[in-house]
Structure 1
């Protein structure tokens, strides 16, 4: 039986869910719905009682939480934590709260790691959440500030932690921002991929590595937390 469902019926029916301890790369071009897709997967888990951690390198913690509250999630009663790597770089005076912990910048991997660890401890050890969904959005932003070897070592620790804690990890990568060697190196850390590509009519998605063969490409549209999957190519 699957450990994690995306909460998107067509994809869940195709792959039968995702086993515990799985790490996935979500890769696609800019403005292709990656953020909304991963937020929807996290949102659907939160509704089922999972906890979630989002490392945000492009949006403030408040803006991340706004997406979930705008789609009907009661933030106060949810186990959703955001590691905000943006606000301090903007020089905005602010403090941590129950749902947001601030790192100094996207390159502060030590600080990011400490704050991830604090949320892991709170949700999995103290609150004993039944499941954990973890996301870094995005690896591409971090790679603008540090080299691949440094990021690889950092990710190796946390993909290992995902496996050890039977969690689900999703790590966003911007397609066409990196050379093939960089993508090939990062792929070593992951069990599969969610791929998005541009089409004449919009965007298509497929899942690779979870099933013996890649799924077909499916057109999809996202409206808030509602994902509509079309017919396969």
Structure 2
């Protein structure tokens, strides 16, 4: 079976196929369009017939879908599940839907894990989707509510599950919010990283750990659903 891709032409040409069972940390500063970048990676999975489970700790499930509607991207047929950790925290009474399940808050790791498992059962066992992605956006929010040891144990379960299921996991971390010990501890669970840093008025990204040498740094710009890259000088 084929591996995975990020859907970013310049990086995919360097990385080749990402092997099944890979877990990746995406780390970068605030205001660096990480959400949009993750959405585009998720969308590339839909194009390739992958399912995606997104744990959203910063926006409601409905807001996630609004981005695709706003950019006129049709994902009505996509196998997608959102674990919404925001709606109940805000005291909103929205019910669950086929595509959105509600956890009580970002601190409810047991509840989040149950909702993830329900979507996995639907996509993997019932629908027999051959390739599946798990995205947590973001780990930083979860770390604000839970201690590092608890989050590590939670992640250890699901990074292991992605390996066993030949999936692809992407986990977002806010750079600058955590001490070096926290980042170093979490890195043990990942096979590679998408690193983002500010470069003047722009941001650059590279991938580390999935090839013998890191990829070059690429300056990127996202306009709607369009991603433009050029190699940083």
TM-score norm. by structure 1 comes to 0.97
Aligned to 2:164: 164
Q: Tell me the equivalent position of 1:79.
A: 79
Question: Are the aligned partners of 1:2 and 1:16 in contact in 2 as well (CA < 8 Å)?
Answer: no
Whether 1:204 and 2:204 are equivalent positions in the alignment is: yes
- Indicate the residue corresponding to 2:123 in structure 1: 123
Gap regions ≥5 residues in structure 2:
none
Matched positions, count? 233
Give the Cα separation in 1 of the matches to 2:231 and 2:73.
30
The TM-score normalised by the length of structure 2 is 0.97
Deviation at 1:174, TM superposition (A): 0.2
Alignment-derived partner of residue 91 in structure 1: 91
Asked if 1:177 corresponds to 2:177, the answer is yes
Alignment partner, residue 231 of structure 1: 231
Say whether 1:135 aligns with 2:162. no
Any gaps of 5 or more consecutive residues in structure 1?
A: none
CA apart distance, 1:231: 2.1
Deviation at 1:33, TM superposition (A): 1.3
Deviation (angstroms), 1:143 = 0.5
For residues 133-155 of structure 1, the C-alpha deviation after alignment (integer angstroms, 9 at most, x for no partner) is 11000000001000000000000
Q: CA RMSD in A?
A: 1.2
Structure 1's consecutive aligned runs of 4 or more residues displaced over 4 angstroms after TM superposition are none
Q: CA deviation at 1:49?
A: 1.2
- Displacement of 1:2 in angstroms is 5.4
Aligned to 2:190: 190
